[in-house]
Structure 1
Amino acid sequence: MSEDKGPRSANIFDVAKLAGVSHQTVSRVLNDLPNVRPATRERVERAIAQLRYSPSPAARALVTRRTRTIGLVVPGVSDYGPTSVGLHFNLAARRARYSVETVSSLDAGGASVRAAVESLLRQRVDAIVLIIADVAGLDVVRSLDLSIPVVAAASSARRDSHIVSIDQYRGARQAVRHLAEIGHTQILHVAGPATAADAVERIRGWRDELAAHRLVTADPVHGDWSAADGYRIGTELELTPGSAIFVANDQMSIGLLSALRERGLRVPEDISIVGFDDVPEAGYLFPPLTTVRQDFAALGELIMQKVLVAIEEPDSITEDTPLPTRLVLRGSTAPPGR
């Protein structure tokens, strides 16, 4: 005879469904955070009362020990993407009335990331957030077994309930699809470092979109994300008029544009270029750069919301769909032979 376990206790997602809001909004109400409309707050509170919801005892025990401080591990680089994510996460944390203790990992290796995590644990933070730039860091995130929530911003084909991201793969496919649809049949790729998580996903997207259009794939050329390396690659690439280049970030695109101009190749008349990131300078280059925009502000907010839910309902964390990118069309792309 099976044991009657009784009705299941309501969780934060039940409250969100009854109130007609997101679980992040419920978390903001539970934490008495700003930026919730009074009518929405009242609706959530009614749903909480109706369902007799209360956060898990383990979560409440954690709440009573809160320092309202979050540890942030960032890569030891000044690249635009990781820096922007860190900035917007700090802003989101401040809006939620949390302070942030930031530690840089000295290199991309797993030992450095783990050492940064251990230094934050000694400061009794309420949660740890990691911005992961290298695939080695992903292995560390998945191996962590801590008593406090862990959330990572990282690109990976493998989904994980504690990882949030912007969809690098589909962003790359957007870029290549645009070039293919305006008539380019030779689409080269200047990629980031081979061990960079973002670069791996963008290469994967480039290859799959070329395959979808039955176009030939050459080996990508790897750079180090910098304009200087983009320039170096631009002086060495074997190009024929009518080619197109998908560049893995805008900084390398800047260097590439300069090198092509020195070689007498016109953009977009001879060569089309698409970048990635949409840095503030992208619209003011010559020509203005067509690129894939990432919403770093939305990612910073999503990380903070994930942390809040993890504190309130540590057993209710679910996978998040990667945030979408947007292709921004400017003057660096045109049909071949225009």
Structure 2
Amino acid sequence: MDKHPPDEERALSIRDIARLAGVSRQTVSRVLNGERYIKASTEAQVRKVIEEHSWRPNSAARALATSRSKTIGLLVSARSHYGPFSAAAAIDEAARARGYAILSATLAREDDAAISEALDAFSAQGVDGVVVIAPQQRAHEALQRVAVRVPFVSMHWKDDGDGRVAAFDQEAGARLATRHLIELGHTRIRHLAGPQDWNEAEDRMNGFLAELSDHDLPATAPVLGDWTSDLGYEVGLKLLDHPDFTAVFASNDQMALGLMHAAAELGISIPGDLSIVGFDDIPEAKHFAPPLTTIRQDFAWLGAHAIDVLVTQIEGGDATAIAAEYPIPQLVVRQSTAPPRVPG
């Protein structure tokens, strides 16, 4: 008779299952992990006890059995906009589909101390890995300086080279947007860029300038924005007062919306007098007046891809090959772009 019967008032633990099956806790762990080279009779005995007691390992038991907590930390910058937040939602869904729970933290600042504090909190909760969505330059530099003791994936960056990145090719997307305007016949194109310290904004600006250069077209210094429609509206009122251009590539859809508002207020027809291209393809973009031509990023894919990269690392695999995939976003042509109006 078992001298230490499990307390019927509490849930069975992995140690209880081991004792009832007459094996070690490590043997139960190996059975739960589906490891080979366990005697068939031993595995049958363990599974018989599990079935008899309708036992399901809770998170603590899983951690004992696998040395993993099945949790992932998600670190998101408070200054994020539609794209990063959409990716965060997709990450949560993809993680749950793989059997992982998400613990979220928001970065109020992007410095070493704030990132260290958040990572320490994740470490205290025993997360198996971390996804970082903080596209700012400062955040990325701070992350490189802070010791991350678990596998991690940084989104939107392409310069790691070590299998820890999930991103779309922002520069290629910007080239698509600019090339679309050039192919329509526009030769005087302005760019409303994102914030200067954002990696995505820099990549999109570089793509815009590179495409103009490839077509031997003149470039005017991009206007720096802040991702908001309010900024797009304010810039639009100034730039469109006496425009010397026929098209604008805005670094995101919200700023494009603000530009369209300013154009409507000034009596400038879109796309008759001015063509506008955005970036991201937010759900409302197809309902703008007129519907917005933009660059679509599949954030559901990106979130699932980030989890694939991270879980591959967590489970001891080499994520370098899959993390080296940087898909090109898709050009979605709607009614906000057209050939420039011929004078006369």
TM-score w.r.t. structure 1 length?
Answer: 0.78
Q: How does 1:317-332 map to 2 (within 5 A)?
A: 317-318=320-321, 319-332=323-336
2: CA distance, partners of 1:294 / 1:316: 22
Distance 1:31 1:190 in 2: 53
RMSD: 2.2
> What is the Cα deviation at residue 259 of structure 1?
0.4
Matches of 1:63 and 1:154 in 2, distance apart?
34
**Counterpart Cα distance in 2 of 1:243 and 1:180:** 11
SS in 1 for 2:279: strand
DSSP 3-state at the match of 2:87? helix
**Aligned pair partner of 1:182 in 184, 189, 194:** 184
Question: Structure 1: how far apart are the matches of 2:33 and 2:337?
Answer: 48
Looking at structure 2, the residues matched to 177 and 123 of structure 1 have their Cα atoms a distance apart, in angstroms, of: 48
**SS in structure 2 of the partner of residue 331 of structure 1:** coil
| Distance across 1 between alignment mates of 2:299 and 2:319 | 25
Q: Aligned to 1:222, which of 224, 227, 230?
A: 224
Instruction: Kindly indicate whether the alpha-carbon contact (under 8 Å) linking 1:241 and 1:271 is maintained by their aligned counterparts in 2.
Output: no
Q: Distance in 2 between matches of 1:301 and 1:316?
A: 14
- Of residues 135-144 and 200-209 in structure 1, the stretch that sits farther from structure 2 once superposed is 135-144
Could you say which residue in structure 1 is the equivalent of 2:262?
259
Aligned-residue offset at 1:321: 1.8
| Corresponding residue of 1:132 | 134
Q: Residues 277 and 114 from structure 1, CA distance in 2 versus in 1: closer, same or farther, beyond 3 angstroms?
A: same
- Could you tell me which residue of structure 1 aligns to residue 298 of structure 2? 295
Q: How many residues align?
A: 281
Q: Provide, for residues 138-172 of structure 1, a one-character-per-residue CA deviation record: whole Å limited to 9, x for no partner.
A: 22333344332111112346644211101111000
| Matching of residue 148 in structure 1 with residue 150 in structure 2 | yes
Number of the residue aligned with 1:282:
285
Deviation at 1:314, TM superposition (A): 5.1
What pairs with 1:73-112 in structure 2 (closer than 5 Å)?
73-77=75-79, 79-112=81-114
Mean CA deviation greater in 141-150 or 217-226: 141-150
**Structure 2 gaps, min length 5:** 1-31, 35-62
CA distance in 1, matches of 2:276, 2:33: 47
Amino acid at match of 1:92: A
If asked which structure has higher relative contact order (CA below 8 Å, sep 6+), I would say 1
Moved more, 143-152 or 257-266: 143-152
1:115-126 aligned at under 5 Å gives the runs: 115-126=117-128
Say if 1:169 and 1:259 are closer, same or farther in 2 by CA, change over 3 A. same
CA-CA distance at 1:180 after TM superposition:
0.5
- Alignment-mate amino acid for residue 127 of structure 2: V
Shift of 1:240: 3.1
2-side partners of 1:63 and 1:74: how far apart?
30
Closer/same/farther in 2, CA of residues 78 and 149 from structure 1, 3 Å limit: closer
Q: For residues 288-325 of structure 1, give each alpha carbon's deviation from its aligned partner in whole angstroms, at most 9, with x where no partner exists.
A: 00000001001000011111110122556344221220
Q: What residue identity is the alignment partner of 1:169?
A: E
Trace 1:159-178 onto structure 2 (pairs within 5 A). 159-178=161-180
SS of 1:276's equivalent in the other structure is coil
Tell me if structure 1 keeps the 8 A contact 2:164–2:319.
Answer: no
- Note the alpha carbon deviations across 1:10-33, whole angstroms, 9 max, x for none: xxxxxxxxxxxxxxxxxxxx989x
1:72–1:128 Cα contact (<8 Å) kept: yes
Separation of aligned partners in 1, 2:153 and 2:33:
18
